[in-house]
Amino acid sequence: MNVRGLLEPLYERYLLMQCPQIPVHIAIIQDGNRRFAKETGIKTADGHRAGADKTEEMLDWAHDLGIRYITIYSFSTENFNRTEEEIRELFRLFKEKFIRTISDERVHRYRIRIQMVGDRSLLPEDLRIAIEAAEEATKNYDGLTLSVALAYGGRNEIVLAAREIVTAVREGTIAPESIDLQMVESHLHEGKEIPPVDLIIRTGNEYRTSNFLPWLANGHESAVYFCAPYWPLFRKIDLLRAIRIYDQRLSARTR
């Protein structure tokens, strides 16, 4: 084992001591898969696969830390502008990973609930079937909830919720005067009960939140942590550094 391998566990413990307050809900913008692939000389598809593998590794960290909700930004509505080949490879990878969760021992041991947020109508049927199977297999789990944002755009999510409410008003099941913040929230994300975001993490040295969960994150003034590593290179140390920022911000607000 090299020096780094010896020091990292010690540094992790040091960081953990600085994080007495663990966020309930962390949202992650997993940026840098393509740049990682380019800089390491591998195919773009392999860069995305490395990112997907990192997500699986992160589930162990989240379980150890007691994080209850994680939402990952895997594919935005803007990503449909990518090449057909890259989109096809991504959808194949998503399908594979959702199918794998059904038999993944870690998912069942940690009682991880898997669900998708986003516009399902924009996804191919075989991917939708795989997603629904994973959701069905884990729907009763009460450990960590992993929400995968696919074909997702924050403004589009609010538009979809507005359409549902308008339809209900027209049908007479909702009175216009009863529309309030709680009702709008209940129609977001297909009615899934996802709590406000405590912390947003973006990898890849980008400094923007890219229309990610605007109602749950911006509306609740979540902490934001930007870091340089590409997502496939993200470490538990980086996660703990982000949580330290959350803890410091929360402590400052409660003084």
Q: Which of 2, 46, 53, 79 is catalytic?
A: 79
Please write down the HEC assignment for all residues of 60-77.
Answer: HHHHHHCCCEEEEEEEEH
Length of the chain counted residue by residue: 255
How many angstroms separate the first and last alpha carbons of the chain?
43
Asked if 81 is an active-site residue, the reply is no
Handedness of CA 123, 127, 133, 135 (dihedral sign): negative
Sheet of strand 145-152, all strands in order from the earlier edge strand to the far edge: 113-117, 145-152, 69-76, 25-29, 199-202, 223-226
- Helix or strand (DSSP H, E) at 211: none
Question: Please, is 253 exposed, middle or buried when counting C-beta atoms within 10 Å of its C-beta (0-12, 13-18, 19+)?
Answer: exposed
The residues facing 75 across adjacent strands are 150
The token duo for 218 is 């911006």
Residues 44/88, Cβ–Cβ less than 8 Å: no
Asked if 205 is an active-site residue, the reply is no
Query: What residues act catalytically?
Result: 31, 79
